[in-house]
Amino acid sequence: MLNVQNVSRDYGDFHLRGVSFTVSKGEYFIILGPSGAGKTVLLEVIAGLISPDSGRILLNGVDVTGWPPEKRGLAYVPQSYALFPNMSVYDNIAFGLKLRKLPKAEIERRVGEIVEVLGIESLLKRKPRTLSGGEQQRVALARALVIEPPLILLDEPFANLDVQTRGRLINEMKRWRKELGFTTLHVTHSFEEAVSLGDRVGVMLDGRLVQVGDVRDVFSRPKCERVARFLGFENIIEGTAFGRKLRINGIEIELPVEAEGKVRVGLRPEDVIISTQPMKTSVRNVLRARVEGVEELGPVVRLRLNASGLSISAFITRSSLIELGIRTGKEVYAGFKASALHVF
């Protein structure tokens, strides 16, 4: 369906470098990366709004690299939604169909079908400025989907929404995709969107697509330390491996696989269990540690721990912090399963 081949582009101080990936028909593909990684530039190259310095864009086997946006037939929803402020919701949605000079009856039929699926029938006579963020997002999606494009490009589609609206629309997007069967390339910095919606994910860092794969595989098995840190492996531990044992600062940590020599392992803070008493569980790795910092992050708290010179971050709930009486300087036990470790 979409084949991006070794695309590069210099854009001001930013450099898109050698990006290659494919999106299959019916697939929901996520490009995941931090702000400034090049996600929007990549989308605009695919949409035809920016020309690449090198590389090719193929749609269904046809090289469209030099084609203008309107000839590619793709639907692009920018982060701003770009609704026409002086048009009604109906006219915004029907705009692409009118450009294609479809019969009035066909336009009315298609608009009626798409607004029913997206649940915005009551908004058709209103102007965009009177709509909430969630309603504007639905209208922008309706305008993109009504033309039945081979591929829809979504640029941070939920970034401007509050948490509750975003969560609701993510769930509804799953239903819309099932009912309408569209193919999507969706760029975002949100792990929630990637995990909830993506079939596959590509991690973009500093203008390069660093890793591509099944969502579960990428999140559980990052290919390098840079990807691991971006995906939440805050604890990167370096030591010497002897089979399934990792030794560091006099501590032994059990590994999930055998290794030899200097290795680095990643561990997510949420995989660390905290106790004020010695643990009587199946967890094989238990370290005695001192709390060196307590950082509140909304509903969760990050603990900065020191275990014989080894720095570890752990997440606990605020209620657990209070119940366990944890404060800076307190001695605790930090436990984690060997399977929670990722060896680089």
H helix intervals, the chain: 39-47, 69-72, 89-99, 104-118, 133-145, 163-180, 191-197, 215-220, 225-230, 318-324
Tokens found for residue 168: 């609701």
CB 283 within 8 A of CB 335: yes
pLDDT winner (highest mean) among 159-163, 165-169, 334-338: 334-338
Q: Burial of 216 by CB count in 10 Å (0-12 exposed, 13-18 middle, 19+ buried)?
A: exposed
Q: What is the pLDDT of residue 87?
A: 94
Q: What is the pLDDT of residue 265?
A: 95
CB 231 within 8 A of CB 203: yes
pLDDT tens figures, 175-208: 889 888 999 999 999 999 999 999 999 999 999 9
Q: Is the pLDDT of residue 164 over 90?
A: no
Q: What is the pLDDT of residue 245?
A: 95
CB 211 within 8 A of CB 202: yes
Q: Is the pLDDT of residue 163 over 90?
A: no
Q: What percent of the chain has pLDDT over 70?
A: 100
Q: What are the structural domains of the chain?
A: 2-228 (3.40.50.300), 232-343 (2.40.50.100)
Q: What is the pLDDT of residue 160?
A: 82
pLDDT tens figures, 35-93: 889 999 999 999 999 999 999 999 999 999 999 998 999 999 998 888 999 999 999 99
Distances (CA, A) of 336 to 235, 270, 283, 284, 303: 12, 10, 6, 7, 15
Give this prediction's pTM: 0.86
